[in-house]
Structure 1
Amino acid sequence: MHAHDHHEHHGSELTRVAQATLEKSGEQWTAMREHVFEALSGFAKPASAYDIADAVSKAQGRRVAANSVYRILDLFVGANLARRVESANAYVANAHPDCLHDCIFLVCDRCGQTTHIDDDSITRSVRTAARDAGFVPVRPVIEVRGTCSTCAQDTAVA
């Protein structure tokens, strides 16, 4: 597999890189955007806008509307700070927002865990096939549904 190499950021370093990436795109890093990004990056699995709104509301001690979170998430996806897991209508923080590429998601149907992998040869092939069909690809969405290794082991043991 031809993988894409990059440095994955975590914790405060991820927030710092996300802020720099957003500001480089000409957008402001507001307090609310920071709260939403920190809530999003705190989830171990893809989170819906409602999950994120609830987490931010609890952290802020005031109600935050999901529609406000959706607008911020749309901005984050456009700026490469987050990725949308289409089949789950949920989002994950991009651990390397300073690196632009297409993602492939492996989604476990049992536990919901979503793993993101990079394989530029696959996404390049998808883009080429689309162009060969006379289509102008913008963003390939590749999701593979199945069972993660942990759930597969649990099933084998049971």
Structure 2
Amino acid sequence: MGHGHHEPEGDALMRAAQAALEGAGEQWTVMRAGVFAALSGFAKPASAYDIAEAVSRAEGRRIAANSIYRILDLFVAANLAQRVESANAYVVNAHPGCRHDCIFLVCDACGKTTHVDDDRLTRDLRQTALTAGFQPERPVVEVRGRCAECAA
């Protein structure tokens, strides 16, 4: 199945994200810190527009969504955030120092998205792609349905 993680929160998560980004050779700027803080404040996947609005409120000035998209692309590449493809939205990676493929369970009723690790399943998925002559780069696995609360 999956593997265990210590998932930092708050300031510890911000420090882990900064370390991961700087470890990837990028700078941790005030704007990037603001975007990460805004993204980590959402309980559900957030769009670039949601994040732009949150950062704009915090900064007291309008921030364009295209600026947010560039930062989010960097965050995904550096493993600080993950993109929920079907929602065109993003979630913060609660363990930015660990690289592995993820599985998202997406509730169609409330939008809650749960991240699940299953290294065996994602390893098999990558191997299936390789066997078919396909080089997998970033598998995206999303299971749509209803969370336990909405199913009750």
Q: Which runs of 4+ in 1 moved over 2 A?
A: none
> Which consecutive residues of structure 1, in runs of 5 or more, have no partner in the other structure?
154-158
> Which consecutive residues of structure 2, in runs of 5 or more, have no partner in the other structure?
none
Report what 2:125 is aligned to.
126
Question: Aligned AA for 1:101?
Answer: H
Structure 2 residue matching 1:127: 3-state secondary structure: helix
Question: Aligned AA for 1:47?
Answer: A
Q: TM-score, normalised by structure 1?
A: 0.95
CA distance in 1, matches of 2:22, 2:85: 26
Q: Deviations over 1:103-142 (max 9, x none)?
A: 0000000000000000001100100000000000001100
1:109 and 2:108 aligned? yes
1:138 and 2:122 aligned? no
Count, aligned residues: 152
CA distance in 2, matches of 1:86, 1:17: 24
Question: Aligned AA for 1:58?
Answer: R
Question: Aligned AA for 1:103?
Answer: C
- The alpha-carbon deviation at position 24 of structure 1 amounts to 0.6
Q: TM-score, normalised by structure 2?
A: 0.99
Aligned-pair identity in percent equals 71
CA RMSD of aligned residues (A): 0.4
Larger radius of gyration: 1
CA distance in 1, matches of 2:136, 2:41: 31
Report what 2:73 is aligned to.
74
Q: Aligned runs of 1:43-58 on 2, under 5 Å?
A: 43-58=42-57
Q: Deviations over 1:10-62 (max 9, x none)?
A: 11100000000000110000000000000000000000000000000001100
Report what 1:28 is aligned to.
27
Structure 2 residue matching 1:46: 3-state secondary structure: coil
